[in-house]
Chains A and B, each alone.
Chain A
Amino acid sequence: MIRVDNLTKTFKAFEAVKGISFHVAPGEIFAFLGPNGAGKTTTIKMLTTILRPSSGTVMLDGLDPEHHKMAARKKFGIVFQDSSLDGEQTAYENMEMHGVLYHMPKKVRAERIERMLTTFELWDRRKDYVKKFSGGMKRRLEIARGLMHSPKILFLDEPTLGLDPQSRNQLWTHVKHLNETENTTIFLTTHHLDEADRVAHRIGIMDHGLLIAQGTSAELKEQTNTSTLEDAFLALTGSSLRDEDASSTDQLRDYAQIQGSIK
């Protein structure tokens, strides 16, 4: 479903992704792990057509986004690390906007919105402004929206960041349920290794721009001779801290948090 060959991305002198290759089978839940600055988000951006690779190829359900950008974009849904909901619009309006952007006919749109909002237990709140939603509700709405056009692949970039254990648990239950019922391929990143261990069929570990290991959780533990995924992760990536400089996005994010706490 996702096939990546020798993918690289270079920003000026810095090589963020250094030629990685992997594939994700249809219906698989693939967890993409790695310390901060490993190149995970850069990789997701290239897979989702926001960033152009410096070299290498990406195939999404047999389509090369470089040449068939619009068709490839219809194949996936995405939940970004930072919310991309419109707080000034209602939950229903956010879904409606997505439906229009993905060229869904009006009737299909209405049906899918009702179905997805009901699945994610948000139908009763459809007329409320999104700015009034809790963090967990916003995430659920984003996933519901990402799945609205029935994509074959769902990208989740740190979907549980900032959520309490209840919301995290509920979110993964939903994701697993969807994976089983709609056979959606799921590509996720997270820092919660226990979550990855619980939901993912296979795991890829990235560090310093390289994919240093991939396999099932059991294989990774066996390979490193450890008993938990966390130990395996540390054995593979070392225990040194990654003190990278804050990017302009990080600075914007700090600013967003200050703004948010004032409101």
Chain B
Amino acid sequence: MNVIYILWLRELKRFLRSPVQVLGSLAQPAFFLLALGFGFNPVFEKAGQGSYMQFMAPGMIGMTVLISSAFSGVAVLWDRQFGSLKETLVAPVPRLYIMIGRTFGGATVGVLQGVLILLLCMVTGFRPQHFSAVVSGFGFVAMIAICFAALGMIIGSTLKDMQSFNVVANFMVMPMVFLSGAFYPLDNLPLILSVLTRINPLSYGVDGLRGTLIGHWHFNYFLDMTLLSCVGAVFLIAGAYSFSKIEI
């Protein structure tokens, strides 16, 4: 238990101690919010869909949480060779504990990023339907964080070099964000997009967030939560397995 706690705490400390990194990670969603949020707002309103800022904010929260959590997992690639993770691999501790401490540390950092971006959204004019919505909304933030920290862990444990790291960043993270309904409603999409968005777990996270925060659902609470729980469980098991197989 102590081992899990200290590894979790380490991830948290790393985050809290580097304010530059915190600000840097908020720059991209802030830019999207300002440029796209204000830019598309008039068109969106004309189409009778209400405020685009209001629509997009939950998507931006989902995106930030995904990127933060996924990269904390993928960083295992680096950390197992040049970081303190290597030390934990020869310690008399089951790999499972290390994987759990690390994954939940990364997920916690993701949730904190989500809080920050929610505050930022509120500054630019976003209003959740009521404040209790924020609490249930963060249930989805936590699910997104766990799912993608675990997915990152699978990737970080399996990859061998930095080139593949960049490939993952470009071919996994960004498509997932763009095909999740973070930027546009999922209604009436062409068939291909409709299929792709439906197999993307982030779609359900963003939908859950948007539903709880502003009452705009594409799927429903039960489907979103069940799907994310199942995907999360599968990713955690697969993550634990691939982490246990690491040889350096």
Chain A residues proximal to chain B, CB less than 8 Å: 45, 48-52, 69-71, 73-74, 78, 80, 82-86, 88-89, 93-94, 96-98, 100-103, 145, 248-249, 251-253, 255-256
Contact = CB atoms under 8 A, between A and B. Distances in A.
Interface stretch (B25-33, B87-95, B149-157, B207-215): B87-95
Interface in B131-180: 160-162
Contacts of A103: 92
Interface stretch (B13-21, B55-63, B109-117, B193-201): B13-21
Q: Which residue, B3, B92, B94, B160, has most C-beta atoms of chain A within 10 A?
A: B92
Contacts of B13: 88-89, 93
A84 B91 CA distance: 13
Interface string B61-85: 0000000000000000010011111
Contact of A70 (B81, B92, B247): B92
Interface string B229-248: 00000000000000000011
A49 B91 CA distance: 10
Contact of B247 (A50, A73, A80, A251): A50
A100 B3 contact: yes
Contacts of B91: 73, 98, 101-102
B82 A252 contact: yes
Contact of B6 (A48, A83, A100): A100
Contact of A88 (B18, B89, B247): B18
Interface of B: 2-3, 6, 10, 13-14, 17-18, 78, 81-94, 160-162, 247-248
Nearest to B247: A51
Given A51-B248, A98-B87, 14 more contacts: A45-B247, A49-B90, A50-B89, A52-B247, A80-B86, A82-B82, A84-B82, A89-B10, A97-B10, A98-B91, A100-B2, A101-B92, A248-B161, A256-B82
The SS class assigned to the B binding surface is helix
A102 B161 CA distance: 30
25 contacts: A50-B248, A51-B248, A52-B247, A69-B92, A70-B94, A71-B92, A74-B92, A80-B87, A82-B86, A83-B82, A84-B87, A88-B14, A88-B17, A94-B84, A96-B6, A97-B84, A97-B87, A100-B2, A101-B3, A101-B6, A101-B88, A101-B92, A101-B93, A103-B92, A253-B81
